[in-house]
Structure formats: structure tokens, C-alpha cells
Amino acid sequence: MIENNLDNLLGQFIDYMVVERNVSPKTIEAYANDIIDFARFLAQEEEVPWQDVDLTKVDVLSVRHYMSHLSNKGMKKSSMSRHLVALRSFFRYLCREDVLQASPPSLISMPKAEKPLPKFLYSEELEALLSAPSDDYAGLRDKAILEVIYAAGLRVSELTGLNVGDIDFQVGYCRVIGKGNKERLVPLGKPALKALEHYFGAREGKGQALKRDDPVFLNRSNQRISSRSIRNIVDKYMKQAGMFQHISPHTLRHSFATHLLENGADLRSVQEFLGHSNMKTTQIYTHITKSRMKSVYDKTHPRA
């Protein structure tokens, strides 16, 4: 029979985790700290040392109050989930040892994980990135790549899949094959069209005839460029522009959507541009713009 002092119970639980579960020392330390934190929370109400907390009095409401306490402290939901996992493991163990009859933490749902907001570049950062490529052949290609991703809000796979015949210079659109083999038409804008014209002109200058089924963007071996190469290109010019934050080509797609909404585009139009089948996927960009507005307000309003 295990003595019911919480300090002794915790020691027995740690021995069980080490010997029978082979849990890592770091995880055991984290679990122990989380369990003690819960006990201290209960001890404040009972006005006793945490070691003397009566676990038989713990119910679902007690655990909910504790989780609310963690939330009010500003704890991330991922950390709150770890606390709950520790309590579930501890209380299940106590039930196994017949110390307790029930495990209230097991009846509490895990906090829903927060979805991180997509990264995006501010307009000034984007201008620095787009201005970084040189005027040689590789630079003309790379500038066209960056301009087209941002101008049309393309996924990397959509960019690498573009063929020459998909670009309509007269109308100013490109034909994109997105997820699920769905086709959409996206405007390109003058800077992107100009960059493509310069790149195509350089290709023709090297004696390369441009056929409709040819890839728009080629690698050094004159084969269709890969997604990995696009990522390397973005990394290269971010560094050249003096920006050492890590971004992916998808960040330019996020920037496209964010900037459209910031400048008054309606959500439905942005959904069409991005090729999202579900409006909920597009709505995350409204959170970015609200966050940006709040940041600007806090920095500039005298009474923020």
C-alpha cells in the first residue's frame, strides 16, 4: 500500500515511469514539475503545504479551474496540453495502485492547438527582395521567378508547372493548374510581365526557341526547374537583400494574400486568386491583417 502523502506518491510515480515505462529524464522532470504546480494550485485553496493536498477531493471542476488558471497566465496551449498529459498519467497510475477510484484529468479535453499565423513580408522587405537579382541571365530568370510567385500568389508546384503557353502577355493573365488539377486564371501585373519578357528575351538570345509546351522556368541544364531550386533562390536573395530571417517561397504567397486584404480586396476575390476550395482557409489572412493593424495602432496612437 502506498502512503498517501503526495510527495511519496510522486516519488513512487517517478520510479514507475523510470523502471516500467523507460521515460526520458527530461520528460520525467517536466511531469514532476507540472504535477507539483497543480498541487500548489490546490494547496492555495486548502491552505496546506502542497505535499498534504488531498487528491481524493480532486474532481473535474478542480482540473478545469487549474487549466483556466494556466490560460489566464498566458500559457501556450501546447504547454497546457503537456500539463494535462502529466496529470492524466499521474492519476491513472494512482487508480492502478488503488489510491484513487477515478482519474478526473482523463475527463478533460485537450486544449485545441493554436494554428500559427502564416509569415509574410512587409512591402519594403518585398521590394528589397525583388530588387536583389542582377541583370545577367540567371538574375533575369530569378527576378521573373520572384515576381511571378508574388504577383500571382502561386504555390511552388504551380510555379514550376507553368508552361510558356500558360502566359498570356496580351491579356496579362497566367493559367495555373492547382491542387486537385483545378485550373484558374490569375492576373500577373506589369512588373511580373516585364520580368518575364526580359527573361524570355534572354532565352531567345541564347538560341532557345520558346514553344507553348516548354517550361517557363529552366534550370542550368535547361530542364524544368525544381521546387528545391526555387527554395534555394528565395534563400539566396533574402540574404543578398540583407534579411536573414528564414522564409519559404510560400511566404511570398502569404504576402500576396495579406497585401491584397490590407489594400481593400474582398475575401472572396482573394480566395479565387489563391485557388482555395474553402473560404475558411482564406480567412486566416484576416487574422494577419488584424494583427498588423493592432501593431500599427499600438506603435502610433497616443493613447494606445
pLDDT tens-digit readout, 83-136: 999 999 999 999 999 999 999 999 998 887 666 667 888 889 999 999 999 999
The pLDDT value recorded for residue 264 is 81
Q: Do residues 174 and 77 share a domain? A: no
Answer with the one of 107, 141, 158 that is the final residue of a domain.
107
Is residue 112 domain-resident? no
Task: Indicate if the alpha-carbon torsion angle 200, 204, 208, 212 is positive or negative.
Answer: positive
Lowest-confidence region among 34-38, 152-156, 285-289 = 285-289
Answer with the one of 80, 107, 134 that is the final residue of a domain.
107
The pLDDT value recorded for residue 39 is 94
Compute the average pLDDT of residues 224-252: 92
In tens, the pLDDT along 164-191 reads 999 999 999 999 998 888 899 999 989 9
Q: In the chain, how many domains are there?
A: 2
Q: Check pLDDT > 70 for residue 218.
A: yes
Compute the average pLDDT of residues 202-226: 93
Q: Do residues 32 and 157 share a domain? A: no
Q: Do residues 289 and 168 share a domain? A: yes
pTM of the complete model: 0.60
Is residue 1 domain-resident? no
Alpha helices in the chain, H assignment, sequence order = 6-19, 25-46, 60-72, 77-96, 123-130, 137-152, 156-160, 190-205, 227-240, 249-262, 267-274, 279-300
The pLDDT value recorded for residue 1 is 37
254 is known as an active-site residue = no
**Which residue type does 6 have?**
L
Range of the domain at 292: 123-300
Active-site pick, 179, 182, 190, 287: 179
Is residue 130 domain-resident? yes
Active-site pick, 69, 82, 250, 292: 250
Average pLDDT, the chain: 88
Compute the average pLDDT of residues 245-260: 88
Q: Do residues 146 and 33 share a domain? A: no
Active-site pick, 276, 280, 287, 292: 276
As a whole number of angstroms, the distance between CA 211 and CA 25 comes to 62
Is residue 234 domain-resident? yes
Q: Do residues 282 and 253 share a domain? A: yes
> For residue 160, what are the contacts with CB-CB under 8 A and spacing of at least 6?
215, 217, 224, 225, 226, 227, 230
Is residue 118 domain-resident? no
Active-site pick, 141, 253, 254, 259: 253
Q: Do residues 151 and 79 share a domain? A: no
Contact between 216 and 164 (Cβ < 8 Å): yes
Q: Is 132 left (phi over 0), alpha (psi -120 to 50) or beta?
A: alpha
237 is known as an active-site residue = no
State whether residue 11 is helix, strand or coil.
Answer: helix
250 is known as an active-site residue = yes
Answer with the one of 52, 79, 107 that is the final residue of a domain.
107
179 is known as an active-site residue = yes
Q: Do residues 198 and 132 share a domain? A: yes
Q: Do residues 152 and 92 share a domain? A: no
Active-site pick, 155, 203, 254, 259: 155
122 is known as an active-site residue = no
Active-site pick, 66, 150, 199, 285: 285
69 is known as an active-site residue = no
Q: Where do we find the cell 493548374?
A: 177
For residue 40, how far is the Cα from the chain centroid?
A: 35
Percent of the chain with pLDDT over 90: 57
**CB atoms near residue 119 (< 10 Å):** 15
Is residue 144 domain-resident? yes
Grade residue 272 by pLDDT with cuts at 50, 70 and 90.
Answer: confident
